[in-house]
Amino acid sequence: MAESKYESKITSAPCSAAQIYRVLSNMQNLERVKDMIPKDKIQEMEIEPDRVRLKVDGLAQKITIAIVDRIENDTVKFGAEGIPMDANFWIQMKEVSPTDTRLKLTIKADIPFMFKMMLEKKLQTGLDQAADMLAQFPYAMWQ
C-alpha cells in the first residue's frame, strides 16, 4: 500500500480563524448538529471533547475519529481508528482578514492499490463538498 494524499479546493468562510478553531477543535460541538445526521447512515454516536465513536452503516465495528493535534487558529488534525486502513485528516485555516478565513481539507490514507482507482474521485468530491459545507457553517453564532 502506498500513502495517498488528497486536498480539497480552498474555500472562504466569512469569519475569523479563531471562531472556526473554537468550533472545530472541540468534538462536543457535534452534539449541536447530531440530529442533522441521517440515522440510517450513523448510529450509536458517543461524543467526547477529543473524540467521537460511532457505528457507521456498512462497517462491522465502531469507528473512532479523534483529534490528534491542534495548532490554535491554524490546524485541527484528526485520526481514524476501526477502519481497514491507516488514515488521518486535517483542516487548515488561513485568516486573510477577520471576516475572511480560507479553509483547506487534506486526507492522507494508505489505500490498497485495487481500491485506489475506485475511491479517488469519490474522495476528491467528498473533500470538496466538505470544504464548501465548512465554509458556509455559522461559526460566529456558536460563541
pLDDT tens digits, 54-95: 888 777 788 899 999 999 999 999 999 888 778 899 999 999
Q: Considering only CA atoms, which of 2, 1, 4, 3 is closest in space to residue 127?
A: 4
Contacts of 133 (CB under 8 A, 6+ apart): none
Cα end-to-end distance, the chain, whole Å: 43
- Record the pTM: 0.88
Report the amino acid identity of residue 40: D
Look at the domain 2-141 and name its fold. Alpha-D-Glucose-1,6-Bisphosphate; Chain A, domain 4 (3.30.530)
Tens-place pLDDT, residues 12-62: 999 999 999 999 999 998 888 877 777 777 878 899 999 999 888 777 788
